[in-house]
């Protein structure tokens, strides 16, 4: 709209990106951070989890062997307080990409404030799986197992809240319990195992006490709820299904990071949405229904960053990944990730042969 003026917007790399990842799904989480960060022209310093540093140190060797220049991708390891704090408060860090829990994330944001570093947060979840009475129940119950029992439920997108239409509530719980009873629990290095152990003793203790608290508050244990026999002293826990009287008890509201799903019944679409949104997290959701119109209505009404309809856990480097509310902000993957790792610069180019006529008149 300005004669003899060309305007362009270019995107430039930020500089140094600090990436912080937890112990679970490390290769995936690192790939979706450093891929777009490096592609956009940044360098990366990765802080590995103190619970599983070795894989990331080996990953750094792969970068070196692939011929990346020294300093482009770097890995540090250590405890979160001294090591993570030093990284996220460093004045030369331009962006922080953090995956982990909300409480640690608050420290990260405070650390970043001194230098105004940009921050993206991919945090926890308490994702609902909503099953309507017209759903294919065989497919839906397989979806439940996929959502909560793969990786022993140790996933931010785990479908740990099961919302069932009242007319199919009992049938679906029976089907899920039957399928859960057939899951082969064992050493993850054994190719016959389908579900391995939890990561820490503290995690096991937390899950065990939360299930006990749910039972004390009126919940019904449908399946599991204890350590399986015959697996020694490992931190194994049975795939567990708990029918809950209401959505306010701890097992429904708190992220457990384990193979435990809490079930609630709903009466209609509005009730399903109310239950789905009654949570401080908003990462993902699953919907199972034969009615595409209903699926789209629920998708629009649910407050979360990812919705799977008649499937679960589908991911792609082409699709943005991230959440709402206490599940964080910013996006991994997709075009949004490239935008997150660059900053825009607006350029004005005067093509007029005439000089600026009057310096006190805005054009």
Buried (b) or exposed (e) across 193-230, using 16+ Cβ within 10 A?
Answer: ebbbbbbeeebbebbbebbeebeeeebebbbbbebeee
Tell me how far apart the terminal alpha carbons of the chain are, to the nearest angstrom: 10
CB 286 within 8 A of CB 145: no
Q: Which of 64, 81, 138, 156 is catalytic?
A: 156
Q: Which helix (H) or strand (E) holds 134?
A: none
Nearest to 122 by CA among 275, 282, 252: 282
DSSP 64: H
Question: How many residues belong to the chain?
Answer: 363
Helical H runs in the chain?
26-39, 54-65, 85-88, 102-113, 137-148, 169-181, 201-216, 250-253, 269-277, 292-301, 334-340
Q: State the burial class of residue 251 (Cβ atoms within 10 Å of its Cβ: 0-12, 13-18, 19+).
A: buried
Judge contact between 273 and 297, C-beta under 8 A.
Answer: no
Catalytic residue check, 332: no
Catalytic residue among 50, 122, 138, 304: 122
| Closest by CA position to 238, among listed 258, 213, 254, 215 | 258
Question: Is there a contact between 259 and 238 (Cβ–Cβ < 8 Å)?
Answer: yes
Give catalytic status of residue 156 as yes or no.
yes
Query: Could you give phi then psi for residue 102, rounded to 5 degrees?
Result: -60, -40
Q: Containing H/E element for 135?
A: none
Is residue 143 within 8 A of residue 244, CB to CB? The reply is no
The set of catalytic residues is 122, 156
């Amino acid at each position: 709209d300005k004669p003899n003026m060309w305007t362009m917007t270019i995107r430039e790399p930020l500089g140094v990106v600090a990436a912080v990842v937890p112990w679970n799904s490390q290769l995936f989480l690192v790939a979706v951070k450093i891929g777009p960060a490096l592609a956009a022209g940044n360098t990366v310093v990765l802080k590995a989890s103190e619970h599983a540093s070795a894989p990331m140190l080996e990953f750094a060797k792969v970068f070196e062997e692939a011929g990346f220049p020294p300093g482009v991708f770097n890995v540090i390891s250590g405890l979160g307080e001294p090591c993570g704090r030093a990284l996220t408060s460093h004045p030369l860090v331009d962006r922080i990409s953090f995956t982990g829990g909300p409480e640690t994330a608050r420290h990260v944001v405070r650390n970043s404030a001194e230098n105004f570093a940009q921050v993206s947060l991919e945090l926890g979840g308490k994702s609902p799986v909503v099953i309507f009475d017209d759903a294919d129940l065989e497919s839906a119950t397989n979806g439940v197992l996929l959502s909560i029992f793969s990786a022993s439920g140790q996933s931010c997108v785990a479908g740990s809240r099961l919302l069932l239409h009242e007319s199919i509530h009992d049938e679906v719980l029976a089907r899920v319990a039957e399928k859960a009873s057939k899951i082969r629990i064992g050493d993850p290095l054994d190719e016959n195992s389908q579900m391995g152990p939890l990561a820490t003793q503290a995690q096991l203790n937390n899950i065990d006490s939360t299930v006990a608290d749910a039972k004390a508050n009126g919940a019904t244990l449908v399946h599991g709820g204890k350590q399986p026999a015959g697996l020694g002293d490992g931190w194994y826990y049975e795939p567990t299904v708990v029918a809950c009287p209401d959505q306010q008890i701890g097992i429904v509201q708190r992220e457990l990071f384990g193979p435990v799903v809490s079930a609630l019944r709903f009466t209609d679409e509005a009730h399903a949405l109310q239950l789905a949104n009654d949570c401080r997290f908003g990462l993902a959701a699953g919907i199972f229904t034969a009615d595409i119109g209903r699926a789209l209505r629920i998708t629009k009404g649910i407050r979360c960053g990812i919705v799977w309809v008649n499937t679960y856990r589908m991911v792609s480097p082409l699709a943005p990944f991230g959440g709402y509310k206490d599940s964080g902000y910013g996006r991994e993957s997709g075009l949004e990730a490239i935008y997150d790792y660059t900053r825009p610069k607006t350029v004005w180019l005067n093509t007029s042969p005439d000089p600026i006529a009057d310096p006190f008149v805005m054009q």
